Amino acid sequence: MTLIGLDPTSGPLSEAKGRPARRRPGLDGAVIGLVSNGLGESDKILAAIGEEISKYVNVAGVVKVRKPSVSVPPEPIDWEKLINQTTVAVAGFGG
């Protein structure tokens, strides 16, 4: 049996180009996106995270998205929801 070792290092990173995206000072008034991979209890855990965030800040809403599989991105219509309707998103991974 042959073992192949992979080197996870990439060396020095190139200098960043452009500028960082604008950040909000807080989450008050934000719409929170919750992205689940659908495994295990990820839907329930993300719902609980959304509820917990709502206890501490005045969010304007929550958009829930469930990916069709762990190995693929959200469906195009769900990407559009996240891009156009949310301020910030939380991705959860169940197992």
Residue 70 CA, distance from chain mean position: 13
Is 28's pLDDT higher than 80?
yes
**pTM of the predicted model as reported, rounded to 2 decimal places:** 0.74
- Read off the pLDDT of each residue in 83-94 and give the average, rounded to a whole number: 89
Q: Find the angle CA(33)-CA(81)-CA(37) to the nearest 5 degrees.
A: 55
Q: Which amino acid is at 15?
A: E
- Read off the pLDDT of each residue in 58-73 and give the average, rounded to a whole number: 92
Is 94 contained in some domain? yes
Task: Please report the pLDDT score of residue 95 as a whole number.
Answer: 63
Is 53 contained in some domain? yes
Q: How far apart are CA 27 and CA 86, in angstroms?
A: 11
Q: 90 lies in which domain range?
A: 42-61+83-95
Is 46 contained in some domain? yes
Q: Most distant CA pair in the chain: distance in Å?
A: 58
Answer with the residue of higher pLDDT: 38 or 54: 54
